Amino acid sequence: MTAIVTTPFRVVNAENFKEDVSSTDNSVYVAIGKSDVWSTATSDLTDTTPFTPQDRLDDINTAYQNMIGMKKVTASDVSHIVPRYTWTSGRTYVAWDSEDPTIYDKEFYIITSEFKVYKCIKAPATASTIEPVHINTDPTSESDGYTWKYMYTVTVTAAEKFLTISYMPVSTLVFPTTGTVNGAVSSSTAVTLAAANEKIKVGQLVTGSGISGSVTVAAVSGTSVTLSSAQSISDTTVLTFGRFANTDVNYANQTAQINSLAATKAAGIERAEVTAGGSGYTSAPTVSITGDGSGATATATVAGGAVTAINITDKGTDYTVAQITLTGGGGTLGTARAVIAPQSGHGSDPISELGAFFVGLNVQLSGSEGGDLTVGNDFRQVSLIKNPEQFGSTDIATASTLRSRRSLVLASSAATTNFAVDQVIVGSSSGAKAYLVEIDTTNKVLYYYQNEKTGFIAFTQNDTITGTLPNGGSATLDQTSGTSWYGQATNGYGPEVKNASGQLIFLENRAPINRSSSQIEDIKLIVEF
């Protein structure tokens, strides 16, 4: 039996994943972990070149043990992406071809210096020398022989989050959507909606009962929408979030894409390729196009007794199959094939047309994120966790950040100055070992995790905690009656997420990334389907 997984299937899977991550029904987090070094002693390779994780339960469980903290992924943190092909003078590109099974591995589209994205409709055998700049609704030919179809423009916001050296975001049209106000608003720009709506975008015009003047979306995060000016709106009012305002930086780009979409012809024949020139032609043969569509016409060009080109004079519509027949002209054996446009036409659906079976995620970690993420140390693993549970509960976690490292609360008289991060700490009675991730000197708390290198023996309350060299400090644990001395959320220091809960759906090993309270880490993940 022979079978294939089609590109549309891969795109659908990417779309489903994006919607799954963005949905308010799920909680998906980017988790960081592993402050201890990659070591050759455990076959981890080097600290700058770690091993590639394996799709096996042991690697997944180990990643859970290494986790330090998590940050929730929001709808604005996710985008369809495709490989980036930046237009470069002197580079040869290929034209879209409905018969090419490897077209999505080729450079048939480009992004320009103006962040405009074009699809190549016709390409000569020579290099491109003219960078397209038009936003025409129809494919437009340049003097270098290339014909480009304007697709969309990458917005500044999208570029900042998802544009990399290797990948670029795929833009989709912003269509009007609605949201119901949850709670009355009086002379405020802050509006809370009954439910999050990922279709609401910054810059959209806002209309509805109570909206006065030209109002746009200034910011959106989950159910919270910030308006451009203060408004008074009643509870349960339905607001409409429309197209971009004409003063918005995205207006021209959005309008150009809308116009381009409106001009598309469903499944037309954009070009024809001569497969054999034949011989003996004294005049141009008649070109006949037959298929399940209608309206396509073309003419032939003859040189040296052979057919050299087929020129489409009307693209027609609604073709899924088409054949080209050459008759007359005094010659024989000339053949050609039709290149059919996508079902809805070139420019109708950039996600499908460019093969956007990649999803990009971008999450920024800012300092300690309210104390949930360790600073003053590093991390080496990044993962995606779907629907982790709150510590001590079966409820799905919903907080924007979660602390996953465990804790040891020291006695009030204990000194923390002789401990250092990345030490292995040891329990005197239990023999437990763990990596010290963070030291809270104010509250006398040691944050730690255990993995296969330390073993998983649990600390006990009677332990005296000793640090290994070079500092070698020791301290007793808090013995206060009623104090949850270790691993408990109730004391305010323990983990906020249940260990190994949820589904780990992505894992990446990296070289060490140092964290500090004054910096922001921009974490970009690429998932290919």
Domain ranges of the chain: 7-78+360-402+499-528, 177-249, 269-340, 406-491
Local confidence band at 509 (pLDDT 50, 70, 90 cut-offs): very high
Q: Of 34-43, 265-274, 422-431, where does mean pLDDT reach its minimum?
A: 34-43
Q: What is the DSSP annotation of 321-357?
A: -EEEEEE-TT-B--EEEEEEPPTT-TTS-HHHHTT--
Q: Token pair for residue 401?
A: 């950040």
The pLDDT value given to residue 97: 95
The pLDDT of 224-232, averaged and rounded, is 95
The pLDDT value given to residue 265: 62
- Return the number of other C-beta atoms located less than 10 Å from residue 344's C-beta: 15
Higher pLDDT, 262 or 493: 493
% of the chain at pLDDT higher than 90 = 61
Q: Which amino acid would we find at residue 375?
A: V
Q: Which residue matches tokens 């469980």?
A: 61
Output phi, psi for 277, to 5 deg: -75, -20
Q: Do domains 7-78+360-402+499-528 and 177-249 have the same CATH topology?
A: no
81 with 356: CB under 8 angstroms? yes
- Would you call 190 helix, strand, or coil by DSSP? strand
Max Cα separation, the chain?
105
The pLDDT of 243-268, averaged and rounded, is 73
- The answer to whether the bond into 50 is cis (omega within 30° of 0) is no
The pLDDT value given to residue 183: 94
Q: Give me the half-sphere count of Cα atoms (radius 13 Å) on the Cβ side of residue 424.
A: 15
For the chain, the average pLDDT equals: 89
The pLDDT value given to residue 474: 86
Inform me whether the pLDDT recorded for 75 exceeds 70. yes
Q: Token pair for residue 449?
A: 């995790």
The pLDDT value given to residue 259: 73
Inform me whether the pLDDT recorded for 385 exceeds 90. yes
Q: Token pair for residue 170?
A: 């795929």
In whole angstroms, give the CA distance from residue 313 to residue 297.
5
Q: Of 171-175, 215-219, 352-356, where does mean pLDDT reach its minimum?
A: 171-175
CATH 3.40.50.300 fits 7-78+360-402+499-528, yes or no: no
Classify residue 493 as left (phi > 0), alpha (psi -120 to 50) or beta: alpha
Which helix (H) or strand (E) segment holds residue 261: the answer is helix 251-262
The pLDDT value given to residue 470: 63
In whole angstroms, give the CA distance from residue 487 to residue 492.
10
Helix, strand, coil percentages for the chain (3-state, nearest 5): 10, 40, 50
The pLDDT value given to residue 469: 63
Q: Which amino acid would we find at residue 330?
A: G
In whole angstroms, give the CA distance from residue 234 to residue 252.
33
Q: Token pair for residue 78?
A: 């996710």
Higher pLDDT, 345 or 425: 425
The pLDDT value given to residue 491: 59
The pLDDT of 244-270, averaged and rounded, is 73
The pLDDT value given to residue 72: 95
In whole angstroms, give the CA distance from residue 265 to residue 240.
30
The pLDDT of 91-102, averaged and rounded, is 95
The pLDDT value given to residue 45: 80
In whole angstroms, give the CA distance from residue 24 to residue 29.
13
- Domain 177-249, what fold? Elongation Factor Tu (Ef-tu); domain 3 (2.40.30)
The pLDDT value given to residue 489: 39
Dihedral Cα 459, 464, 465, 470, nearest 10 deg: -150
Q: Token pair for residue 106?
A: 């080729």
Sheet of 474-476: strand order equals 406-409, 445-449, 433-440, 424-427, 464-467, 474-476
What's the chain's Rg over C-alpha atoms? 30
For 140-170, the pLDDT digits (tens) are 999 999 999 998 889 888 899 999 999 999 9
In whole angstroms, give the CA distance from residue 426 to residue 169.
48
- Would you call 428 helix, strand, or coil by DSSP? coil
Inform me whether the pLDDT recorded for 417 exceeds 80. yes
The pLDDT of 120-147, averaged and rounded, is 94
CA distances in angstroms from 515 to 69, 95, 236, 484, 521, listed in the order given: 13, 45, 44, 29, 8
Local confidence band at 479 (pLDDT 50, 70, 90 cut-offs): confident
